[in-house]
Amino acid sequence: MTNAPHTQWTLGILGGSGLYDLPGLENPEWVSISTPWGAPSDDILFAEIEGVRLRFLPRHGRGHALSPSDVNYRANIDALKRAGCTDVLSISAVGSLQADYVPGDFVMVDQMIDRTFAREKSFFGKGCVAHVSVADPICPRLSALAADAADQAGANVHRPTEDKSLTYLAMEGPQFSTKAESHMYRQWGCDVIGMTNMPEAKLAREAELPYATMAMVTDFDCWHAGHGNVDVASVIAMMQKNSAMAQKTVLNLIKTLQDRPRSACASGIETNLDVAIITPQEARDPKRMAMLDAVAKRYLAQS
């Protein structure tokens, strides 16, 4: 039975800059969860909406005290897994790298480039080595459902197509980009830029959690001659303007989930460790394996 898919949705939400709470939920309770990887960014808000379970974690903490490099991404993903999440949606502020995506728009990215360099990027390592595929880092099902929910909320939503991926460039920060960098990312074909969704998406894949990003455009970074360079005040002002839309999107998404029993993700995300772990059982370090008790729970239960 360990490979049976979850038949009930428990939606995890990682709230980014400007999104530190979700009002209007049933039975809300902030719950502290500890992990073998250290402390997550904050307690997790457990709640329900019409029977669908929701788990909300503000990525930078409620007081936004954690910079993108200080967020403990491993602890956050592990804690969401321990909280029973079946799927994780990131709601993030991003700069637009293309004229077509303007502040206020929602961009459902399907590709990512990871330029971060000062973060722990894997649950695996000495004592248990794994190489998961992140060829397609985003769960297409969750992304499509979130896009529809955002549409219904009245947002201007951009979706990837067969011919055109939408790419999120993850930079280390905390400083914003130079103009030369911003122009280079545009030449690379990137669509939006942020500082947090990598290694988050990679870690979600290792934890066998379908993950999607709803990127909310707040600025034009610093490449656009007709717009000023990004600053925190403009990002937060735009997120505040859009937070009602984000909240409505979450409510719509929950209502959609309520109407459809959950089945396994067609992309195989939920069983991807079966083809990723290379260290044979006899060579595994018991200490490392104990730390993987939540992340690799399904895998370990069958081996």
Q: Is 260 annotated as a binding residue?
A: no
87, 210 in Cβ contact below 8 A? yes
Work out how close the CB of 225 gets to ligand ADE at its nearest, in angstroms, rounded to a whole number: 16
Work out how close the CB of 76 gets to ligand ADE at its nearest, in angstroms, rounded to a whole number: 18
Q: Is 155 annotated as a binding residue?
A: no
265 binds, among ligand ADE, ligand LNRAV4D5, none (CB under 5 to 8 A by kind): none
Q: Which stretch binds ligand LNRAV4D5 (CB under 6 A): 29-37, 124-132, 190-198, 256-264?
A: 190-198
Judged by CB under 6 A, does residue 218 bind ligand ADE?
yes
Judged by CB under 6 A, does residue 57 bind ligand LNRAV4D5?
no
Helix (H, G, I), strand (E, B) or coil at 66: coil
Judged by CB under 6 A, does residue 196 bind ligand LNRAV4D5?
yes
Secondary structure (DSSP) of 6-38: P-S-EEEEEE-TT-----S-EEEEEE---BTTB
Q: Is 221 annotated as a binding residue?
A: yes
The helix-helix angle for 232-258 and 140-152 (nearest 10°) equals: 100
Judge residue 6's burial from the number of C-beta atoms within 10 Å of its C-beta, 0-12 exposed, 13-18 middle, 19 or more buried: middle
Tokens of 139: 């769960």
Distances (CA, A) of 266 to 44, 142, 246, 297: 28, 11, 27, 20
Phi-psi region of 14 (alpha: psi -120 to 50; beta: other; left: phi over 0): beta
95 binds, among ligand ADE, ligand LNRAV4D5, none (CB under 5 to 8 A by kind): ligand ADE
Tokens of 302: 């069958």
Tokens of 241: 């303007």
Q: By CB under 6 A, how many residues form the interface with ligand LNRAV4D5?
A: 12
Work out how close the CB of 196 gets to ligand LNRAV4D5 at its nearest, in angstroms, rounded to a whole number: 4
200, 76 in Cβ contact below 8 A? yes
Please list, in sequence order, all residues whose beta carbon lies within 8 angstroms of the beta carbon of residue 115, skipping any fewer than 6 positions away: 169, 170, 171, 172
- Rule CB under 6 A: choose which of 230, 246, 253, 257 binds ligand ADE: 230
Q: Would you call 70 a catalytic residue per the annotation? A: no
16 binds, among ligand ADE, ligand LNRAV4D5, none (CB under 5 to 8 A by kind): ligand LNRAV4D5
Judged by CB under 6 A, does residue 101 bind ligand ADE?
no
Q: Which stretch binds ligand LNRAV4D5 (CB under 6 A): 96-104, 131-139, 194-202, 281-289?
A: 194-202
Residue 268 burial (CB count, 10 A): 12
Q: Would you call 87 a catalytic residue per the annotation? A: no
Judged by CB under 6 A, does residue 12 bind ligand LNRAV4D5?
no
> Cα separation of 43 and 276, whole Å?
31
Residue 17 or 177 with smaller CB distance to ligand LNRAV4D5: 17
Q: Which stretch binds ligand LNRAV4D5 (CB under 6 A): 138-146, 153-161, 192-200, 275-283?
A: 192-200
Catalytic center residues: 219, 221
Detail the residues annotated as belonging to a binding site for substrate. 195, 219-221
| Interface residue list for ligand ADE (CB under 6 A) | 93-95, 176, 193-195, 218-219, 221, 230, 235
